[in-house]
Amino acid sequence: MKPMIREASWADIALIRQLATDTWWHTYESFISKEQLDFMFDKMYSEDGLKEQLENGHVFLIATINGEAMGFASYLMADERRVKIPKLYVLPTAQGKGIGAALIDDIGKRAMQAGRNVLQLNVNRENKAQHFYAKLGFEIAAVVDIPYDKFILNDFVLEKVLS
C-alpha cells in the first residue's frame, strides 16, 4: 500500500518526537556512542529543538499508512538550486515498504515546484542507509567531518539532480 504524505503542523511535534524516539537509537546505536546519540537527540528532538527548526524554515512531512504514522522527513530550501533534507526516518518495522522513497519523491516534487533541481542530504559514513540513497539516484558530492559540540560527524554529503 502506498503511503500518504502530509505536511506536519505545530500540533504534530509530539508525533514527530515519538517517531524519532522509535527510530533514532535503532538507526545509529551500532556505530555512534550512546553519549553522542543522547546529546544529539536531546538537541534535535526536544520540543524546543523541533519548534526552533519549524521557526527556521524546516518543513516536516509525515508518512502514514491506513492513518498510522510510519515515518517522517524534513526539508528546507538551502539555496537557489538545492533543497536540503536534514531528516528522513522510517520505523524499523516499516522499512522496505517504499515509505522512505515516497518521502524523497514528495520532497523532490516540492523542490521542482519551488524551482530547485538538487536534493542534498548528509549521511553518516557508517550508516547502511547510504545504499538506500544510492538506489534512489543520490551520489557522493563530498566527504565531510563536521564539528558538533564535542563530537565530530563523519558524513557523506549526497546529492541527487532532479529532472
**By C-alpha distance, which of 52, 70, 54 is closest to 62?**
70
Tens of pLDDT, residues 11-63: 999 999 999 999 999 999 999 999 999 999 999 999 999 999 999 999 999 99
Q: Three-state SS for 3?
A: coil
Residue carrying C-alpha cell 491506513: 66
What residue ranges do the domains of the chain occupy?
4-161
Global pTM value? 0.96
Cβ neighbours of residue 126 under 8 Å, at least 6 residues apart? 30, 31, 32, 154
Tens of pLDDT, residues 84-117: 999 999 999 999 999 999 999 999 999 999 999 9
C-alpha cell read off for 97: 515498504
d(CA 156, CA 50): 24
Homologous superfamily assigned to 4-161:
Gcn5-related N-acetyltransferase (GNAT) (3.40.630.30)
